């Protein structure tokens, strides 16, 4: 594979640093903060001024003299306290673009050595519909899965269903109350929609009435004790619920290798608890069984992990601990990434600490990649007008509906519904993935499904226009030729495309899909400028047309790769909405 543009420049810089007698650690180029002065800049000599005791401008001048003569650069100059400004030559840019285009599978993305990575995201609960909060885990989790995959890392995704515990008991006891005449172990004819009202009502009843809560606890105990009738009803509920959730996963293109849940690791719990007890790691406290996870050096208080309630029932942390045990035994991953609400940070810290204390972790790197909460305009958790939590399926349907309205005509040969889905879902995903993972955002349905400006459809649109140009060229018998880079818009386009490998590496390191979203939008913008400034099919010369067609093809490949990393697909065409045709 060919080295990316930044890698080639970094290597040249490092060579010059060494030749000048400087350590090459800071010999790195970044995008110029002032594009009118340079394409790339290097700030690496300024920190060396102190350690070497030499004037930073003189050091920079030495580097500039070494590099300035090379064919890769048109100009290397020194500015301010010691900035190195690099102006790349058109030949070098063309060469880099050509190399990236010649590697369509990777487009310069560098493979990373890593063992198996498990991704834990989604986390739907049985009998609860997916709501807007699930959007983040699904969309971020799927994007991370693809980003790691693009680096050649093997991944396994598991949705970790919430299919156990008191919530199940509440539901079972509620059903028994409402259908008292049912034969034991049979289920009334329930649909997903029925479940969605049943559960909240059951939960409310339990909160309000201690007797109902006792019933729910008893039902939970029966289920966990292996009661066959409870088990059967439970498994049916689980199936109905999972069917509906699987449809939402499919709509969002979230892929799961495993659909395991809390229930799957229950068999491991008795032995695990016995083991922890025997080794004195689990101890009795106020009637419950706990694991102390605080360490003397802690700056913050670290409450103990609660392993079992006074009645012996297992809890959330117990299940997570057992899940970790199970994953190690079954898959022995190098890393497990939990894409779960940031509010559970303490819970994961406790689980990770307890697991380490118990020696359950081995060499696994445990990461909680938390995400911020989705809030309404008032800054509180998002609610619909009716005051209930907004369902994910409704949001997606809204976005798809708006996209459909937007299509004035159905492009021939294209499924209108499928197109609306591609565009609507792209809008939602792009909006979610644009904000930094750990910061929460204010959920605004209008904004989320808008198609103008910094949106998914904007980027898709750039791809579609490129496709249209390439198709026309083909019909005219023209095709891509050798790349030459001359016009400012061409330079900008090539520089932007060349960032893909750096952006992927960084997004992976930081587990931050928003870096990909930023990039893809910037590239689409660079293309839109190129598009308005540089005629392609109507280029003055054949060579120029061939070069620009090749730039179009490269741009589309990079855009589609970037969008794919976000989990966004690109339609072949979008409906024409020429404003001049609207009267």
Partner RNA sequence: GGACCCGUAGCUCAGCUGGAUAGAGCGUCGCCCUCCGAAGGCGAAGGCCGAAGGUUCGAAUCCUUUCGGGUCCGCCA
- Smaller CB distance to RNA: residue 227 or 518? 518
| CA–CA dist 517, 434 (Å, integer) | 6
Interacting residues of 478 by C-beta distance below 8 A, sequence separation 6+: 537, 542, 545, 546, 549
The residue with tokens 């928003």 is: 514
Shortest Cβ 189–RNA spacing (Å): 27
- Smaller CB distance to RNA: residue 154 or 343? 343
- Smaller CB distance to RNA: residue 251 or 306? 306
- Smaller CB distance to RNA: residue 155 or 373? 373
- Smaller CB distance to RNA: residue 249 or 443? 443
Shortest Cβ 269–RNA spacing (Å): 12
| CA–CA dist 260, 189 (Å, integer) | 25
Shortest Cβ 181–RNA spacing (Å): 29
Asked whether the beta carbons of 530 and 490 are under 8 A apart, the reply is yes
CA atoms within 13 A on the CB side of 193: 0
Asked whether the beta carbons of 120 and 337 are under 8 A apart, the reply is yes
Shortest Cβ 338–RNA spacing (Å): 12
| Number of CB atoms found within 10 A of residue 297's CB | 5
- Smaller CB distance to RNA: residue 145 or 217? 217
Shortest Cβ 24–RNA spacing (Å): 16
316 closest CA partner among 171, 170, 131, 166:
166
Interacting residues of 552 by C-beta distance below 8 A, sequence separation 6+: 466, 469, 470, 480, 536
- Smaller CB distance to RNA: residue 81 or 188? 81
Shortest Cβ 364–RNA spacing (Å): 22
| CA–CA dist 497, 554 (Å, integer) | 8
Shortest Cβ 450–RNA spacing (Å): 7
- Smaller CB distance to RNA: residue 46 or 500? 46
Shortest Cβ 105–RNA spacing (Å): 26
Asked whether the beta carbons of 496 and 93 are under 8 A apart, the reply is no
405 closest CA partner among 413, 397, 395:
397
Beta strands 288-291; 282-285: pairing state: antiparallel
| CA–CA dist 488, 484 (Å, integer) | 12
3-state SS assignment for residue 495: helix
3-state SS assignment for residue 201: helix
- Smaller CB distance to RNA: residue 155 or 434? 434
The residue with tokens 């445990």 is: 366
Shortest Cβ 421–RNA spacing (Å): 12
- Smaller CB distance to RNA: residue 95 or 371? 371
3-state SS assignment for residue 288: strand
Shortest Cβ 86–RNA spacing (Å): 9
| 408 CA to centre of own chain | 32
333 closest CA partner among 341, 344, 325:
325
């Amino acid at each position: 594979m060919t080295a990316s543009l930044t890698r080639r420049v970094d290597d040249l810089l490092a060579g010059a640093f060494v030749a000048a007698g400087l350590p090459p650690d800071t010999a790195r180029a970044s995008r110029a903060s002032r594009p009118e002065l340079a394409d790339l800049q290097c700030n690496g000599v300024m920190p060396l001024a102190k350690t070497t005791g030499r004037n930073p401008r003189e050091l920079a001048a030495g580097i500039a003299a070494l590099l300035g003569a090379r064919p890769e650069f048109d100009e290397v100059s020194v500015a301010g306290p010691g900035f190195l400004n690099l102006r790349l030559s058109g030949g070098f840019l063309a060469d880099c673009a050509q190399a990236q285009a010649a590697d369509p599978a990777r487009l310069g993305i560098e493979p990373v050595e890593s063992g198996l990575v498990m991704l834990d995201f989604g986390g739907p609960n049985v009998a609860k519909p997916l709501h807007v909060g699930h959007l983040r885990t699904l969309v971020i989790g799927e994007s991370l899965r693809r980003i790691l995959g693009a680096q050649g890392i093997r991944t396994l995704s598991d949705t970790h269903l919430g299919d156990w515990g008191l919530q199940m008991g509440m539901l079972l006891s509620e059903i028994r109350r409402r259908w008292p005449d049912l034969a034991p172990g049979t289920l009334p004819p329930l649909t997903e929609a029925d479940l969605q009202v049943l559960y909240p009502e059951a939960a409310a009843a339990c909160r309000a009435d201690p007797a109902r809560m006792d019933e729910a606890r008893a039902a939970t105990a029966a289920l966990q004790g292996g009661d066959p009738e409870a088990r059967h009803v439970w498994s049916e509920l689980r199936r109905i619920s999972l069917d509906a959730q699987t449809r939402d996963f499919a709509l969002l293109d979230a892929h799961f290798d495993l659909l395991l849940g809390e229930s799957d690791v229950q068999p491991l719990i008795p032995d695990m608890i016995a083991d922890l007890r025997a080794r004195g790691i689990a101890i009795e406290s106020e009637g419950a069984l706990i694991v102390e996870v605080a360490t003397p050096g802690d700056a913050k208080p670290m409450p103990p992990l609660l392993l079992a309630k006074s009645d012996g029932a297992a809890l959330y942390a117990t299940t997570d601990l057992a899940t970790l045990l199970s994953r190690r035994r079954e898959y022995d991953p190098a890393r497990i990434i939990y894409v779960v609400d940031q509010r559970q940070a303490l819970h994961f810290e406790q689980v990770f600490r307890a697991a380490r204390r118990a020696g359950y972790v081995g060499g696994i790197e445990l990461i909680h990649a938390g995400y911020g909460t989705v809030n309404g305009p008032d800054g509180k958790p998002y609610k619909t007008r009716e005051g209930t939590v907004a369902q994910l399926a409704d949001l997606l349907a809204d976005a798809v509906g708006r996209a459909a309205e937007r299509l004035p005509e159905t492009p021939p040969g294209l499924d209108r519904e499928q197109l609306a889905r591609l565009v609507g879902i792209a809008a939602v995903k792009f909006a979610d993935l644009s904000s930094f993972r750990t910061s929460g955002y204010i959920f605004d349905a209008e904004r989320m499904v808008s198609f103008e400006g910094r949106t998914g459809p904007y980027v898709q649109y750039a791809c579609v226009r490129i496709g249209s140009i390439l198709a026309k060229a083909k019909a005219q018998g023209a095709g891509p030729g050798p790349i030459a880079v001359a016009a400012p818009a061409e330079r900008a386009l090539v520089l932007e495309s060349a960032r893909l490998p750096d952006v992927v590496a960084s997004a992976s390191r930081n587990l931050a899909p928003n870096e990909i979203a930023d990039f893809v939008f910037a590239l689409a913008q660079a293309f839109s400028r190129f598009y308005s400034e540089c005629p392609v099919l109507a280029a003055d010369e054949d060579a120029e047309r061939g070069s620009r067609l090749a730039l179009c093809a490269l741009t589309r490949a990079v855009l589609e790769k970037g969008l794919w990393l976000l989990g966004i697909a690109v339609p072949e065409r979008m409906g024409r909405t020429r404003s001049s045709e609207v009267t």
